[in-house]
Amino acid sequence: MSYSERSCWPDNVGILAIEVYFPSTYVDQAELEEYDGVSKGKYTIGLGQTGMGFCGDREDTNSLSLTVVQNLLEKNSTDPNQIGRLEVGTESILDKSKSVKTVLMQLFEQSGNSSIEGVDTINACYGSTQAFFNALDWVESSAWDGRLAIVVCADIAVYAAGNARPSGGAGAVAMLVGPNAPLVVERGMRFVHCAHAYDFYKPDLNSEYPVVDGKLSINCYLGALDKCYQGYKAQVHQKKKMTSNGTNSEGVGLEHFDYMVFHVPFSRLCQKSLARLMLNDFLHETCTEIQNEKYKDLSDYRNINLEQLADDPVLAKEVEKASLKCSQAAFEMKTEPSLLVSRNVGNMYTPSLYAALASVLVSKSLAELRGCRIGMFSYGSGLASAMFSFIISNTESPTAQKLFNNLADIPERLKTRTKVPPEEFVKILEIREKTHHLNNYTPWQRASDIANGAYCLLHVDEKYRRSYARRTSDGFVDFDGNCVIVAKPLVETAVPACQLY
């Protein structure tokens, strides 16, 4: 049925299925603290991180995306012909012109489906959210042809040796988007804030490493959070007024959300972010006697404004400490369940927010989450940010149960990864650095490090064309179904002396 023949928008548009992929290798953050010679707890307590997933030179943005989309299609028995839009959000580009989406079209060749809209959306950590919005808008537009959309986010977050390196990570998330979804996006509840800032950016196209102003980045993140939260609350307030026939409606605060999920550069920042939302509520509410008790730890800061915190680090530290104490119970209930993947894998960049959403769904049963509202805050440096929300459908459906069942293996997959000693981790990153964007190159990483069902890079030819294969129980298989040999490079040039086989 065409859009023109329908009398209304499709019902309950949102996420039908989610697939999360992370590398099979990781480095323990406590061991990395000792190796780096930093104070104990700097990474594990200061950042709130337990492990950091990383990729060798056999995985890249294309392979991560291929893996997560293939797994999404297979686990949900989705007919490739039912996909009408494919959106990719990433900041780890491999080509300045050719999109990751076009590489993913290899997964649809056998079905004969080449009529798929969408390309890549690029912005640090936020590209995935704009890609998701693009897919939602397509389903609710006159262009929609009744098929489903896939949103893919994939990145490898690596930093030069130094203070920022422990905040790296890697992974991919794919989401199936369409009507009658168990995770329903609340229509009209989206607020976006964008501005210009050089807090984190990648001006050197020959390097994977970003330029980071850590202090500015945190201030930009929290400032964007303030703007988005205030804008989102205003939309909810307006909606409540409209549904109550213009009568007075109560203010909107953290109690509006059952869970609050944030983009996760590192886990500790999410705790500070939840505290920041409580501070917003405190400063913008007229407190009753009961509320004064709730906010007693913040009572000394009634007359501050949020803008001055960015310019007064001493005051900012005092207020942050009081806010963290005031919001501890709310954090444990609303946000801590979202940190399972990020604590163990690290910053995945664009997939980070949606891996956090999946973590919430892993933490509770479907019966416990039905009817719950999940708030989402997306941030990307540069900067772009948004706040929106999901309602978990109360309707019992096989689709909802399948969504939860397909995510249930995440804790076990985290446990069965291979822990790599810090010294080997450092050598692997040295190889990535020295071989970044080489042509006529065959990767050095052990083929055994690639998980079963994952795609890996086979070779980059003299024209920079990349070929991939998928690891199966029968070996490595290319897109034509042929078994291929994953070989060592024949010429040992521009490669560190360490041999990882």
Residue 180 pLDDT grade (very low, low, confident, very high; cuts 50, 70, 90): very high
The proportion of the chain whose per-residue pLDDT surpasses 90, expressed as a percent, equals 80
pLDDT at 116 over 90: yes
State how far the Cα of 103 lies from the Cα of 125, in Å rounded to an integer: 21
User: Do strands 148-157 and 83-90 pair parallel, antiparallel, or not at all (unpaired)?
Assistant: parallel
Task: State the Cα–Cα distance between residues 285 and 283, nearest whole angstrom.
Answer: 6
Q: Where are the beta strands (DSSP E) in 49-128?
A: 51-53, 83-90, 120-122
Q: Please check whether residue 64 is in contact with residue 100, taking contact to mean a CB–CB distance below 8 angstroms.
A: no
pLDDT class of 1 with cuts at 50, 70, 90: very low
Q: φ, ψ for residue 121 (rounded to 5)? A: -120, 120
Q: Taking Cα atoms as reference points, which of 342, 355, 381, 356 lies closest to residue 124?
A: 381
Residue pair 88/153 in contact (Cβ under 8 Å)? The answer is yes
Residue with tokens 């205003």: 234
For domain 191-396, the CATH superfamily is Thiolase/Chalcone synthase (3.40.47.10)
pLDDT at 239: 82
Contacts of 134 (CB under 8 A, 6+ apart): 85, 87, 118, 121
Q: Please write the tens of the pLDDT for every residue from 334-372.
A: 999 999 999 999 999 999 999 999 999 999 999 999 999
Confidence of residue 287 (pLDDT cuts 50, 70, 90): low
Please compute the mean of the pLDDT values over residues 134-160 and round it to a whole number.
96
> Would you call 139 helix, strand, or coil by DSSP?
helix
Mean pLDDT of the chain: 91
Give the residue from 3, 18, 158 showing the smallest Cα distance to 84.
Answer: 3
- Concerning whether 498 is annotated as a catalytic residue, the answer is no
Per-residue confidence (pLDDT) for residue 495, from 0 to 100: 42
pTM of the model: 0.93
> Residue 17: which of 447, 398, 435 has the closest Cα?
398
Which residue among the candidates 153, 186, 228, 263 is catalytic per the annotation? 263
Q: How confident is the model at residue 485 (pLDDT cuts 50, 70, 90)?
A: confident
Over range 73-96, report the average pLDDT: 97
Quick one: pLDDT at residue 284?
85
501, pLDDT greater than 50 = no
- Which ranges of 23-164 would DSSP assign to H, the alpha helix? 29-36, 61-75, 100-104, 127-139
Active site residue 263: yes
Q: What pLDDT is stored for residue 117 in this prediction?
A: 98
Query: Has residue 7 got a pLDDT over 80?
Result: no
Q: Is 91 a catalytic residue?
A: yes
In one-letter notation, the amino acid at residue 138 is: W
Question: What is the C-alpha to C-alpha distance for residues 20 and 73, in angstroms, rounded to an integer?
Answer: 12
Share of the chain above pLDDT 70, in %: 92
Query: What local confidence, expressed as pLDDT, does residue 491 receive?
Result: 44
pLDDT > 50? residue 126: yes
Separation of alpha carbons 160 and 401, rounded Å: 42
Domain with CATH 3.40.47.10 in the chain: 3-96+132-184+416-484, 191-396
pLDDT for residue 395: 85
Considering the candidates 19, 33, 87, 91, report the single residue annotated as catalytic.
91
Of the given ranges (327-341, 451-465, 475-489), which has the lowest mean pLDDT? 475-489
Q: What is the DSSP string of 314-372?
A: HHHHHHHHHHHHHHHHHHHHHTGGGGHHHHHH---STTHHHHHHHHHHHHS-HHHHTT-
**Position 248 confidence tier, pLDDT thresholds 50, 70, 90:** very low
The CATH architecture that domain 3-96+132-184+416-484 belongs to is 3-Layer(aba) Sandwich (3.40)
Considering the candidates 125, 220, 270, 456, report the single residue annotated as catalytic.
125
Residue 501 to residue 485: CA distance in whole angstroms: 15
pLDDT over 50 (residue 2): no
CA dist 501 and 498 (Å) reads 9
Residue 462 has pLDDT above 80, yes or no: yes
